[in-house]
Chains A and B, each alone.
Chain A
Amino acid sequence: MAQENVLEKENEMAQEGFEPRILGFFCHWCCYAAADSAGVSRYQYPPNVRVIRVMCTGRIDTRFILEAFRCGADGVFTGG
């Protein structure tokens, strides 16, 4: 029991310091523009997302998402 608790604690601690690697696919007209405008307004958000600009979310192929996870993404954010 005690052993498990310690493990759980350790796990939690690891999670706290965990910085996920997230890939973003942003639509040029919408989400990418919103992200630019967030910059202009100096809003702050976590620095975990790397962005690939596409002209529209319709461009996103199933293969892209699968490949992103294969390349070690902990999450994929598609923004239209």
Chain B
Amino acid sequence: MAETCKQFLADCGINPDRLTLEWASAAEAPRFVELITGYVNRIKEKGETGTAEGEADSATIRRRLKAAVKAAEARKPRSALGMLAKKLHKDGEYTKEAIAKGVSSKIVPALRAERIKEEIMLLLKEGPMDIDALCSALSAKKEEVEKPLSQLQKKGVVEEQDGKFKLKGK
């Protein structure tokens, strides 16, 4: 879960170190205090979400996360996450590498595809856009955008007009 979130956060333009997973048992109050203090200080150095190096601006992040939450609800990426967890559990393999590899090859692509689809909808709600503008707003390659776009067109949600895409009926 944590690895998925980290990789997907990076995909959404957020520094993945903003998420941390730590362990402190009931008996380890001093360790807890150390962890929490260290973590708060690290976040203090990073500054607000959207201001650290390599992060997207906060408006983009908000839009992207809105799409991302929807993506994380979708059955496809959730199945991918569940199946990977099941496989790792069965194999008893919990090395960092195995988890990271599984997540980057199986789950994140599924999440990203859903995220792009959802984000297209959000972007087009604001007004018509051409394919290049969409690609740059989505931080995605042309082929990544074309596929969901044509799906949406087939569904009749999106239509093309003068080289620009817009929500039907808008």
- Seen from chain A, the residues whose Cβ lies within 8 Å of a Cβ on chain B are 14-15, 18-20, 22, 24, 29-31, 33-35, 37-38, 40-41, 43-46, 48-49, 57-58, 60-63, 65-67, 69-70, 72-80
Contacts and interface: CB of A to CB of B under 8 A. Distances in A.
Contacts of A22: 39-40, 43
A29 B25 CA distance: 8
Contacts of A44: 33
Interface of B: 1-2, 4-5, 8-9, 12, 14, 18-33, 35-37, 39-41, 43-49, 61-62, 65-66, 68-69, 72-73, 81
Nearest to A20: B43
Contacts of A29: 26
**Interface residues of B: mostly helix, strand, loop or mixed?**
helix
> Which residue of B4, B5, B47 has the most chain A CB atoms within 10 A of its CB atom?
B5
A35 B85 CA distance: 29
B5 A74 contact: no
A79 to B, nearest CB: 5
Contact of A62 (B30, B37, B61, B72): B72
